[in-house]
Amino acid sequence: MRLRDRKVLVVGVGPGLGSAVAYFLLREGASVAISARNAERLNGIVAKLSQHGRIVAVPGNAARPDDAARVVDSARNELGGLDHLVVSAGGYAETPLQALETPLLMNMLELNFLSHLYVVKAALKYLGPGSAIVLVTSIGGAYAAWPRHVAYVSSKAATAKAVEVLAAELLDRGIRVNGVAPGGMSHDFEPGRDWRGARRLGDPVAPPEDVARVVVWLLTDEAEWVNGAVIPVDGGRRLR
């Protein structure tokens, strides 16, 4: 188990990628705190995954700086420490340029970008040498240009760039910062299923497990020389 006794906070956990990340973290021996706004759904995920290891729910809105700080503090108190951080919070909207309005732009920035910065900022007082951070962005924000998606894609691009800047800023503290840029993922996850049978290289949408495994790998010592990178995880779909 590559993350035995490590304590990990995952922010932005729903039934898809976040649940898959939590599951593979537990399988690697980590203790896990999961966060999102919907407390009821979080409790359901805890109930589903608790047979695999120690997992607690810390609900909150990461797009509000005070709440993000409260979530980080609660996670640290519940777990008895904090070693690693994953931020997967996000939201999606298709918007042609003519339909752009300030509330939608702000919403995309809050969910896909600002929430990540608030959580990282709040966690820094607990992280130290050997800690790792993974931010989840999107293929659209790092490796592709999607027409009619300028608000979504730009907010994801901001997070991809923040990965590099934060990694540079935290070099001397021994904290790694990386990103993953998923292609299309389904929102369903079931522990222990055969997800490989549900996708082929180049598919537009795939189960979240493959992305989750890269997120978890980035937290392990196997990735200790990977820093400031945003890894595309789309089965090569962007190459079509």
Interface with ligand NAP, residue 207, by CB under 6 A: no
Choice between 91 and 202, CB closer to ligand NAP: 91
How many residues bind to ligand NAP according to rule CB under 6 A?
A: 28
Give the footprint of ligand NAP on residues 80-119 (CB under 6 A).
88-92, 111, 115
Shortest gap between Cβ of 9 and ligand NAP (angstroms)?
11
Burial grade of 201 (CB within 10 A; 0-12, 13-18, 19 or more): exposed
Where would I find the H helices in the chain? Answer: 17-27, 39-49, 65-79, 102-109, 115-123, 139-142, 150-170, 209-219
Window of 24-32, 36-44, 125-133, 213-221 that interacts with ligand NAP by CB under 6 A: 36-44
Phi, psi (deg, nearest 5) at residue 34: -115, 145
Choice between 29 and 105, CB closer to ligand NAP: 105
Rounded CA-CA distance 83/196 in Å is: 30
Task: Yes or no: say if 138 and 153 are a contact pair by the CB < 8 Å rule.
Answer: yes
Q: Which residues bind ligand NAP (CB under 6 A)?
A: 11-14, 16-18, 35-38, 41, 61-63, 88-92, 111, 115, 136, 138, 182, 184-185, 187
